[in-house]
Amino acid sequence: MSLNLPSHYVMQFATNIELLLQQKGSRLKGTVTSDTYAGKQASPVDQVGSIEMQEVVNRFAPMGRVDAPVDRRWVFPGDFDLPQLIDSFDKLRLLTDPNSKYVENAVYAAGRKYDKLILAAAVGTSKTGEQGGTSVTLPAAQKIAVNFGASANVGLTVAKLRAAKKILMKANVDLDMDPLFLPVGADQHDNLLAEVQIISSEFNGGDALVLKEGKIDRFLGINFIHTELSQANVIASNVVGLPLYCKSGLHLGIWEDIKTDISQRKDLQGLPWQAYVTMTAGATRLDENKVVQIACSIA
């Protein structure tokens, strides 16, 4: 009897396809403004600076003119794809069709790409000017030092949160209309669990719960979003920079949203199936005064 009976193939493959642990899609897309575009670049906003009223000192004097400072912020698209080949021979050996899980896995990756674009734009270099030729970095005044309020480098603390929120308030960010968001990793979440303002019952009564089943969702008017992708912005050895931002401070431009396609590759041996996912998008910071970088030690 042959050892290559089809029944033996089933023993070599799982009957169910299980996706390994991962962030399932985007967690930050809804925390920023967003729009769709076409072309090689787009301007999501024209910026108009503040002006002041002028005192009238003479009657019937010639009327002067006040010119508000203006600028234009730009967002540039990037093209991304994720092709996966599924061997037709392998497919025949499976008891379940792998196409759906392969596509689901790729769509999760595309969603995470949105978050990576947003996080990079929050603290990165933005493009401004008539054609986007001027680079703008986040000013030092918008950054909280890693040793703020301590004699050595520390992780995320209530003192840092207060200082960051104070910067936004002094810049006249409308906290009543513009919600605040802070992407944090497990390290920063654990840092806050050591803060008395977080765990004390005095701060966890009534409708103002800080902890909900051991998870910090909101504190000081800041909405916490857990994503380990936030740890990618390494600004020094064992130091990451987390962006605290209001929704109107960041923008996600979408040229083509996540698009999926499953087709058979007749140009390859075995006629494999291809699960193909594409997207075209970019992100930018709209206003430096609406973003604060908080440096946190992860040592």
Given a cut of 90, is residue 247 above it in pLDDT? yes
Span 129-141, pLDDT tens digits = 888 888 999 999 9
DSSP 41-60: -EEEEEEE---------STT
Give CA–CA dist 145/155, Å, rounded. Answer: 10
Other CB atoms within a 10 A radius of the CB of residue 175 amount to 14
> What pLDDT does 271 receive?
87
pLDDT over 70 percentage in the chain:
85
pLDDT for residue 21: 74
Average pLDDT over residues 30-56: 82
Beta strands of the chain (E only): which ranges?
33-36, 42-48, 70-75, 78-86, 126-128, 134-136, 143-144, 180-184, 211-212, 215-216, 218-219, 222-226, 234-236, 239-246, 250-264, 273-285, 291-297
DSSP β-ladder status, 273-285 and 134-136: unpaired
> Which pLDDT band, with edges at 50, 70 and 90, does 86 fall under?
confident
Alpha-carbon distances, residue 236 vs 130, 139, 143, 153, 196 (angstroms): 34, 17, 14, 11, 28
Kindly report, residue by residue over 192-246, the tens digit of the pLDDT. 999 888 877 666 655 556 767 778 888 999 999 999 999 999 999 999 999 999 9
Quick one: pLDDT at residue 12? 46
Does the pLDDT of residue 15 top 60, yes or no? no
Residue type, 124: G
